[in-house]
Amino acid sequence: MEALLFNASGGYLEGVLRGFKAGLITQSQYSNLTQCETIDDFRMQLAATDYGTFLANETPPISTSTIADRATNKLVDEFNYIRSNSVQPLTKFLDYMTYAYMIDNVVLLITGTLHERDTHDLLERCHPLGKFETMATLCVATNVEELYTTVLVETPLAPYFRDCLSAQDLDDLNIEIIRNTLYRSYLEDFHAFVLSLGSPTSDIMSPLLSFEADRRSINITINSFGTGLSKDQRAKLFPSMGRLFPEGTSALARADDVDQVKAVLDGVVEYRSFLEGGSSSGGGGGAGANDGGVASLEDHFFQYEVGLNKLAFLQQFQYGVFYSFFKLKEQEIRSLTWIAECIAQDAKDRINDL
């Protein structure tokens, strides 16, 4: 029945969004880009795609971070266009998407303040989609209670902070705990909202959000090996949703090494191959990180996520396409940055590890 009324509020935006999606870089364009010799070449090739002349005003030599910044700005422009033209409940949906970036920004600012970094510098490094007013005043807070009562209570992130007011002081470990607790509350809230929208939005979004929750759980588990994080604390950080919940997450909470994690992942068919490359060290095609096994896990995650996002476009009349498009666009920016880095560093043999 959603087809009957969806177009009244979302039809135009869905059409515009699908137009944007048609402008994502294709396989053949990627192969053209990988054959570029210099960054200027790269820029010329990009000019032929939907990116157009977005780098026109930069003087050479262009650094890869500039490319990433400009591409992100383009993403932000598209997002703002869609958000400004949207009505409820699409507006609320898009706002939920920005909360994830807000959480990252807040944590970035707190960390930076702790380490006495310059506030302007920090503000520039914040992700533009997660900007909100009063962000600058975050820099003066020194502990979570003050943070909450003075600044955050007016932002949409306020309900997510309720769960982590028990964190005592801010230090590096606790920052991550705060970040993960916030993110967990956010994911559960988003999931509840999506389910209230009914099908087909919930049909599309639920697997995407579940996968995100599982990915977080797995990452938290693997990253907490060897740190001082107790198992109870770890268990509290897992979102109570996703395909690994509840048996998988309780098993992950008790896991001590990668093999146990692998045993847990075997329970879900699609996740089984994620840790395959992990047992051999320095797995081929690793994305250049120190730990080849974990890096290829990230690759698997990205691949699976891209697959899910592409599936979202097969259905019309739902909001999942908005979420998927922006995730795909981010992935594209990551790929472009990767290619640009390879060109800049003359490491052409790694260039195909997209």
Partner 1 sequence: MSLMGYSYYSTYGIVAYLTTVTISIAALYILFTGDGTQFNPGAFLEQTSPYAFALVGVGLNIGLSVIGAGWGIWVTGSSILGGGVRAPRIRTKNLISIIFCEVVGIYGVIGSIVFSAKLGSSPTQATLYTTANYYTGFSLFWGGLTMGCCNLLCGVAVGISGSNAALADAADPALFVKILVIEVFSSILGLFGLIVGLLVSGKAAEFAVSHIIPWFGIMMGLR
Listed residue (294, 309, 75) closest to 209, CA to CA: 309
Q: CB neighbours of 334 closer than 8 A, spacing ≥ 6?
A: 302
Q: Which of 25-33, 154-162, 189-197, 215-223 is the region at the interface with partner 1 (rule: CB under 8 A)?
A: 189-197
> What is the Cβ-side half-sphere exposure of residue 163, based on CA atoms within 13 angstroms?
20
Question: Whole-number minimum distance, CB 167 to partner 1, in Å?
Answer: 30
The C-alpha atoms of residue 299 and residue 334 are separated, in whole angstroms, by: 12
The residue among 242 and 278 lying less far from partner 1, judged by its C-beta, is 242
**Does residue 7 belong to the site contacting partner 1 (CB under 8 A)?**
yes
**Does residue 15 belong to the site contacting partner 1 (CB under 8 A)?**
yes
Query: In the stretch 289-328, what mask flags binding to partner 1 with x, by CB under 8 A?
Result: ---------------------------x------------
The residue among 24 and 173 lying less far from partner 1, judged by its C-beta, is 24
Q: Which of 54-62, 66-74, 190-198, 223-231 is the region at the interface with partner 1 (rule: CB under 8 A)?
A: 190-198
The residue among 5 and 263 lying less far from partner 1, judged by its C-beta, is 5
The residue among 28 and 290 lying less far from partner 1, judged by its C-beta, is 28
Listed residue (65, 44, 38, 68) closest to 56, CA to CA: 44
**Does residue 159 belong to the site contacting partner 1 (CB under 8 A)?**
no
The residue among 16 and 139 lying less far from partner 1, judged by its C-beta, is 16
Q: Which of 13-21, 242-250, 270-278, 292-300 is the region at the interface with partner 1 (rule: CB under 8 A)?
A: 13-21
**Does residue 18 belong to the site contacting partner 1 (CB under 8 A)?**
yes
Question: Whole-number minimum distance, CB 30 to partner 1, in Å?
Answer: 19
Is the torsion defined by CA of 304, 313, 88, 20 positive or negative? Answer: positive
Q: Which of 15-23, 92-100, 210-218, 332-340 is the region at the interface with partner 1 (rule: CB under 8 A)?
A: 15-23
Q: Which of 116-124, 191-199, 254-262, 301-309 is the region at the interface with partner 1 (rule: CB under 8 A)?
A: 191-199
Going by the DSSP 8-state scheme, the letter that residue 123 receives in this structure is: H
Q: Which of 2-10, 94-102, 107-115, 253-261 is the region at the interface with partner 1 (rule: CB under 8 A)?
A: 2-10
> Which DSSP helix (H) or strand (E) runs through 130?
none
Instruction: Select the residue interacting with partner 1 from 80, 196, 199, 240 (CB under 8 A).
Output: 196
The residue among 22 and 269 lying less far from partner 1, judged by its C-beta, is 22
φ, ψ (nearest 5 deg) of residue 207: -60, -35
**C-alpha distances in Å from residue 34, one per residue of 37, 289, 306:** 8, 21, 20
Is the torsion defined by CA of 21, 352, 285, 74 positive or negative? Answer: negative
Tokens found for residue 207 = 């697997």
Instruction: Select the residue interacting with partner 1 from 23, 128, 156, 207 (CB under 8 A).
Output: 23
Going by the DSSP 8-state scheme, the letter that residue 171 receives in this structure is: -
Cβ atoms of 103 and 187 within 8 Å: the answer is no
**Does residue 19 belong to the site contacting partner 1 (CB under 8 A)?**
yes
**Does residue 17 belong to the site contacting partner 1 (CB under 8 A)?**
yes
Amino acid making up residue 140:
V
Tell me how crowded residue 192 is: count the other CB atoms within 10 A of its CB: 10
Residue in this structure with the two tokens 């992130």, named with its chain if needed: 157
Question: Whole-number minimum distance, CB 14 to partner 1, in Å?
Answer: 6
Instruction: Select the residue interacting with partner 1 from 107, 114, 195, 251 (CB under 8 A).
Output: 195
**C-alpha distances in Å from residue 240, one per residue of 11, 177, 228, 293:** 33, 16, 23, 27
Q: Which of 5-13, 58-66, 137-145, 296-304 is the region at the interface with partner 1 (rule: CB under 8 A)?
A: 5-13
Cβ atoms of 144 and 167 within 8 Å: the answer is yes
Amino acid making up residue 31:
S
The footprint of partner 1 (CB under 8 A) covers: 3-4, 7-8, 11-20, 22-23, 192, 195-196, 316
